[in-house]
Amino acid sequence: MLGKGKFKLDEPLREGIIPRYFKDVTKKKIFPIVIVEFTFRSVPERMQQGGYGYRGRVDLAFTSYALTEDEIKILKEKLEEDDLGDLMRNIEGATDESLAQIKVDLDEFLEDKKKHEEEGKDEEDYDTNPFTALFSFFKKKEDNEEKGKELSEDTREEKVLRNMAIIKARVDCKKLYGSFKGWNSMPDFR
């Protein structure tokens, strides 16, 4: 879960923490970010009533960052790729029955293709490999990555603002962590 906050220059400028020219010099908007990662593990358990329940464990990791809009966009893309990787690992662990069913479906698909070829349809209308349609988005992402622009390095002023946003993100993360512990009746060490 990703939470994006706001970092406003008005208060530090008014209090004199940073010079007034920072407002004109900085072009990047920097946001404090809090990320909460959930890792859930469960085991089925037979209940006395004859049904099944689950018991398990949830691990939470609270982290905080200060990122620009472009960095947030890249982070979201990488998180989607990671989710896709988890999905692919789950598919690899499929049972023999489901793999056998996929094989039957592929055989039927290939038989349909042969029938269409006999009727005189062009071979270009049908792809010989049914998996290329499933994985064609990998090629598109690789092309986009090559064309993508590189992130520019922060100026001195932007580094100062990023550090201030990091401090705000860490304060927000600590508040969220303390609230979570309070909601679940856990001891909070403040």
> Would you kindly state where each structural domain of the chain is located, as residue ranges?
2-183
The pLDDT-based confidence of 130 (bands split at 50, 70, 90) is: very low
**Interval 48-62 mean pLDDT:** 86
The pTM of this model reads: 0.57
User: 91 vs 136, which has greater pLDDT?
Assistant: 91
User: 61 vs 97, which has greater pLDDT?
Assistant: 61
Distance of CA 132 to the CA centre of its chain: 24
Give the tokens for residue 145: 């990555």
**Interval 3-26 mean pLDDT:** 81
Report the pLDDT value the prediction gives residue 161, as an integer from 0 to 100: 87
**What does the mean pLDDT of the chain come to?**
76
Report the pLDDT value the prediction gives residue 121, as an integer from 0 to 100: 54
Distance CA 57, CA 40 (A): 6
Report the pLDDT value the prediction gives residue 147, as an integer from 0 to 100: 45
Tell me: the pLDDT tens digits for 30-51? 899 998 888 888 888 888 887 8
Report the pLDDT value the prediction gives residue 32, as an integer from 0 to 100: 92
Report the pLDDT value the prediction gives residue 94, as an integer from 0 to 100: 56
Report the pLDDT value the prediction gives residue 171, as an integer from 0 to 100: 92
Q: What percent of the chain has pLDDT over 90?
A: 7
**Interval 87-100 mean pLDDT:** 63
Report the pLDDT value the prediction gives residue 136, as an integer from 0 to 100: 53
User: 111 vs 120, which has greater pLDDT?
Assistant: 111
Instruction: Output the CA–CA distances (angstroms, integers) from residue 104 to 43, 97, 108, 117, 137, in the order listed.
Output: 32, 11, 6, 20, 25
pLDDT at 139 over 70: no
